[in-house]
Amino acid sequence: MERRRSAALRVFFALVPDASLQASLGVLAREVAARVDGRAIPDANIHLTLAFIGELRPDRVDALRAVLHTLPRAAFVLSLDRLGVFRDAEVAWIAPANVPTELVALQSALVAALSAQRFRVDDRPFHAHVTLARRCTRRTTRTSFTPIAWRVDRTALMRSMPSSEGVRYEALDSIELV
């Protein structure tokens, strides 16, 4: 018998800031969304995607958990100091001007581990960014702001769940970075 599509999970790997930093980025998200006529990302959903897996059968989650636990565990500081918009995707973002080598190593190790386990991996170059707003209809103007220092200390396997109030994210598993 064919599995029903509703049984599938929508999953991704991400760096998730603590609640305090999510709240600070949420304030910026609302400011940017107002300027670009977009929809701000809710504070609790703010994250940096390392790898998007997409729809997945629940029986494959343990394989992703195993991948998560093989990743490098070096904590690092990410300086979010650039604002921009992906015009084709209508997404406003904040990103580091200089991507730390620890982030590059973490994301590269993740892609290699996923490929080794035969998970489909996006072959586009990795662009480290945190989405602040979606459905942006105007370009953002250069804004001066104090760079945001994020001490990255956790990598998570996340689940995306639709709800009546929009999408909500939940960590299925995570590892601490030290």
Q: Which residues contact 24 (CB under 8 A, 6 or more apart)?
A: 148
Note whether 135 and 38 are within 8 A (CB): yes
* Dist. CA 151–CA 115, nearest whole Å: 28
Contact 77, 150 (CB under 8 A): yes
pLDDT of residue 81: 94
For residue 144, what pLDDT is reported? 67
Rounded Cα–Cα distance for residues 133 and 91 (Å): 6
Beta strands 91-95 and 9-15, pairing class: unpaired
From first to last of its 178 residues, the chain has per-residue pLDDT tens of 444 455 799 999 999 999 999 999 999 999 999 999 999 999 999 999 999 999 999 999 999 999 999 999 999 999 999 999 887 889 999 999 999 999 999 999 999 999 999 999 888 899 999 999 999 998 766 666 789 999 999 999 999 998 888 899 999 999 999 9
pLDDT, residue 143, reads: 67
- The pLDDT value recorded for residue 88 is 84
Q: How far apart are the first and last CA of the chain?
A: 46
Give the model's pLDDT for residue 141. 62
Fold of 5-176: Cyclic Phosphodiesterase; Chain: A, (3.90.1140)
| Spatial contact of 15 and 48, defined as CB atoms under 8 Å apart | yes
Helix (H) or strand (E) holding 31: helix 19-36
Where do the domains of the chain lie? Answer: 5-176
pLDDT for residue 138: 83
Scanning the structure block, which residue is given the tokens 């200390």? 153
Judge residue 100's burial from the number of C-beta atoms within 10 Å of its C-beta, 0-12 exposed, 13-18 middle, 19 or more buried: middle
Strands 48-56 and 91-95, by their bridges, are unpaired
Is this model's pTM higher than 0.75 or not?
yes
Cα 111 to the chain's mean position, in Å?
15
Strand partners, 175: 155
Which residues neighbour 119 within 8 Å (Cβ) at sequence distance 6 or greater?
53, 63, 64, 67
